[in-house]
């Protein structure tokens, strides 16, 4: 089976696993993940953070976004341009977000990232214990990582999203760290 076909089957399987969590379990596991994230030295020593805005059944990021804003760190969030490219836009207030075409909250307007990033908090459908990542299939994060200076790439996921192997291609960018509700794996 070709890597693309394997990836598509894995994506469906991982989406199903992740959506099997009820809201209470998802919220509790997300809280544990974000608390662990905020205690890492990489996060504690950061000044600039790029963080996804959670959508549907992803690890909930509102807690970390609020923490970043309260502590006056520079926060950037993703915005997809023309269904092709992801850019990082500065966010100063949650009220500056609006739903895009599919309902993901994105910045209405804002300053585009022009500086190195200390920490990127990255979503994914699946991860391995070697911090390999299975994304959603559009390549936004892999392309963004290849063009931007990032000190630490942190994947956040529920333990049920961890798998032994992923069909990895040379364009797939691994994470430096992976945090679940039960484990922290640091590859740096």
List pLDDT tens digits, range 36-52: 999 999 999 999 999 99
- The percentage of residues in the chain with a pLDDT greater than 70, rounded to a whole number, is 98
Six-digit token string for 41: 């030295």
**Cβ atoms < 10 Å from Cβ of 134:** 22
Kindly indicate the confidence band of residue 90, based on its pLDDT and cuts at 50, 70 and 90: very high
Answer yes or no: is pLDDT of 1 > 60: no
Residue 184, C-beta contacts closer than 8 angstroms, at least 6 positions apart: 36, 40, 177, 178
pTM here?
Answer: 0.91
Answer yes or no: is pLDDT of 10 > 80: yes
Report the distance separating Cα 15 and Cα 26, nearest Å. 13
What domains sit in the chain, N to C, each tagged with a CATH number?
3-186 (3.40.50.10420)
Residue position matching structure tokens 């926060």: 75
């Amino acid at each position: 089976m070709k890597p693309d076909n394997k990836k598509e089957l894995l994506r469906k399987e991982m989406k199903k696993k992740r959506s099997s969590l009820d809201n209470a379990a998802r919220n509790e596991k997300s809280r544990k993940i974000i608390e662990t994230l905020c205690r890492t030295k990489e996060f504690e020593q950061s000044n600039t953070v790029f963080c996804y805005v959670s959508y549907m059944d992803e690890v909930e990021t509102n807690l970390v976004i609020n923490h970043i804003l309260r502590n006056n760190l520079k926060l950037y969030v993703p915005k997809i341009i023309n269904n092709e490219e992801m850019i990082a836009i500065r966010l100063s207030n949650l009220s500056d977000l609006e739903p895009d075409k599919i309902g993901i909250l994105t910045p209405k307007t804002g300053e585009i990232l022009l500086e190195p990033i200390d920490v990127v908090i990255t979503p994914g459908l699946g991860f391995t214990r070697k911090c390999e990542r299975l994304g959603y299939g559009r390549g936004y994060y892999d392309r963004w990582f290849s063009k931007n200076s990032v000190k630490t790439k942190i994947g956040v996921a529920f333990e049920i999203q961890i798998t032994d192997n992923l069909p990895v291609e040379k364009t797939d960018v691994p994470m430096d760290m992976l945090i679940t509700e039960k484990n922290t794996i640091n590859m740096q």
